Chains A and B, each alone.
Chain A
Amino acid sequence: MSGENIFTGLTEEHGGDARWAFGTGFTEALAGVDTTLPEGVDGADLAAYCQMLGDDALIQSQRLIHWVTDAPELEEEVALANIALDLLGQARLLLARAGQADGTGRDEDAFAYRRPAAEFRNVCLTEIPRGDFARCVTTLLVLSTWRLALFTRLADSRDPVLAAIAAKGVNELAYHREYAVSWALRLGDGTPYSNERMREAVADVWPRTGELFATHPVEAALADRGAGVDPASVREEVRGVLDQVLTTATLPAPGDFPEAGVAGRDGRHTGELAPLLEELQRVAREHPEATW
C-alpha cells in the first residue's frame, strides 16, 4: 500500500472541496484502506500505540474546543478551532486503526465514548486545565513541537496506515507549531504583563513535560520493529526548538525537562481527566442504544 491510499480514504464526499477538514463527510474513517498488519508487528502493541497517539490528540482537541466563542479575537477562534479539528481528525484515524489492529473491530467511538479514564493512554500534559491564553499557547507550543518531531519520524513507519496518518499530520502540526510560536513571541515580547503571564504559563506547563520523553514498553517494542518512535529520541530536538523560541520571546530558558516516568501511557492520570471525559461522553452515555 502506498501512502497515498489513505488520502483517497480521507477525501470523502466533498466534491473535492479540500477546505473541509477530515471527518465531516459521511463515510467510515478508514474505508478502503489496506489495514494488513506489517510482518513482525504485534497487533496488541500496535493498537496500544495508536491509542496513545490518538488519545493525546483527542484530549488536547477537547481542551481546545472551549476556546471557540471564548478567544481574545475571532481570528484566534478560527485558528484554534482549526487546530482542534486537525487533532480530532488524527484521533479518529488512530483510534479506528487501534480497533483494527487489536482484532476487536471497535470503531473510533467505542474508544472515545466507552472507555473509563484509566483506559486512556494520553500523556498528562494534554489534561492540563485550560487556564488563560498564555497557557493555551504554551501547552500548544510544547505539544505541537513534540508531536511534530514524533510524526516526522513516524512518517517512515513500517505500518503503512501509521505512516500515512503521520505524513498528513506533519503538515498540520507544522502549522500548529508555527501558530503557537507566533503567539509565544507576541506574548513573551509584548507587554510586561503578557511576559509575566507567559512566565507563569511556562512554570505551570514545565513540570508535566518530563513524561513526554519517558519510553513505555509498547513504544520501545514498536520502535524496535520500525513501526513506532521512541519518544526519548526526540528529547534533544524538542529541547532545542523550545529553547530557541522561549529565548527569542525574551523568556527565561526553563532548563532541561524534568526526569519523569511513564504515567498517562499506563493509565495513571491526573484528577483532571475524569471530568473532561464526563463532559465528552455525557450525551453518548445517556443514549447507549442511539445511533448518530
Chain B
Amino acid sequence: MPTTAQEAPPGADEALQAEFDARIADNQRIEPRDWMPEAYRRTLIRQVSQHAHSEIIGMQPEGDWIATAPSLRRKAILLAKVQDEAGHGLYLYAAAETLGVDRAELTERLIEGRQKYSSIFNYPSLNYADVGVIGWLVDGAAICNQVPLCRTSFGPYARAMVRICKEESFHQRQGYELLMRMMEGTGGQRAMVQDAVDRWWWPSLMMFGPPDADSPNTQQSMTWGIKIDTNDDLRQKFVDMTVPQAEKLGVTLPDPELAWNAERERYDFGEPDWNEFKQVISGSGPKNAERVARRRTAHEKGAWVREAATAYARKQQSAREAAA
C-alpha cells in the first residue's frame, strides 16, 4: 500500500521521502494519492498544465485553415486533428487536476498570461503548406519530446502521453502526406512547401528548449523521472530522424551547417537563434498577444453559458432532492 500524505504522522517526511526516492529509483510510477515532495508536485503541475495549454493554443495556427482547406478530404483531416488537440488538452488538464489544481484556475493562468505554452505556436501560419509542415516538423518534434514521457514517473501523465503520442504520430503522417502531395503538384505548391519549411525549421528545433548548459532544471527533473532525455539529445534525435525525410520530400532545410558526420554517425547542424527564442518565450513573438487574446475572448464570451449550465445543474439537483 502506498503511503498517503493524510496518514503520515508528523515528522515522518524523511521516511516518506526515502520511500518516494526508492520508488523513483526502481522506475515505479507515482500515483495521485501517493506522497510526493512539494517541489515534485509543483514542477509537475507546471509541466503538465503548460503541456495542456500548448495543445489548446496549438489549435489556433492550424484551426485558421479549416474553413479554407482546399479539398473536403483535407478539411476533414484538419478538423479531426484540431479536435484531437482539444481532446489532448482535456486529458492533460485532467492529469493536472489529479495533482490538486483546478482546471478553471489553470485556464485563468493561461488567459492572464501567467503561464506559458510551447512558444512554437506564437509563429503565424501563412499558407496551406504550413498545415503539412506543422504536422511533419512540429508534431514530429513533439513526438520526440513526448515518447520518452510515456515512461515518466507520474502515472496519470504517463498514461495520457501514451494515447497522445499515438494520435500525434497519425497527425505527423498526415502532415507529411499532404506535403508529398503538394510536392507532386504545381511549381507554386512546391514553393509553398519550401517557404513553410524555411519558416518552421528553426522554431521546431527550439521546441526542445535551450541548450543543456542553459537548462538549470533539467538535472532535477531527470532525477525525478519526469524528464528522461536532455534537450540537446532530443534535438539531435529529431534532426537525425528528419533529414532523410526532407530529402525524400525534396525540400532543403535552411541550415548551411547541416551535414552528415561520419565519425559521430549523426548530423551536425547549426545553432538556432536563441535570442529569438528568448524573445518569443518572454511574450514578444509574432503572435503571442493574439493567441492568448483569442482564448481569453472565447472564455469571457462563454461565461454566461457556463453560468447557465451551473444554474441548471443546481435546479436539477434541488428537484431531485425534493423528489427524494
Contacts and interface: CB of A to CB of B under 8 A. Distances in A.
Is the pairing of A and B real?
yes
A230 to B, nearest CB: 28
Given A24-B80, A185-B312, A290-B186, A88 B75 contact: yes
B258 interface: no
Interface in B52-94: 56, 59-60, 63, 65-77, 79-80, 82-83, 86-87, 89-90, 93
The 4 closest A-B pairs by CB, nearest first: A72-B302, A190-B308, A194-B308, A23-B76
Given A23-B76, A88-B75, A194-B304, A69 B63 contact: yes
Contacts, number: 161
Interface of A: 20-24, 26, 58, 62, 65-66, 68-78, 81-82, 84-85, 88-89, 91-92, 95, 108-109, 112-113, 132-133, 185-187, 189-191, 193-194, 197, 279-280, 282-284, 287, 289-292
B70 A287 contact: yes
Contact of B305 (A92, A194, A279): A194
Contacts of A26: 177
A133 B307 CA distance: 13
A113 to B, nearest CB: 7
Contacts of A289: 185-186
Interface residues of B, number: 56
13 contacts: A23-B73, A68-B63, A71-B302, A74-B90, A81-B86, A92-B72, A186-B308, A190-B308, A190-B312, A194-B304, A284-B70, A290-B182, A290-B188
Contacts of A71: 298, 302
Contacts of B313: 186
Interface of B: 56, 59-60, 63, 65-77, 79-80, 82-83, 86-87, 89-90, 93, 128, 174, 177-178, 181-182, 184-186, 188-189, 294-295, 297-299, 301-313, 315
A68 B59 contact: yes
Nearest to B63: A69
A82 B177 contact: no
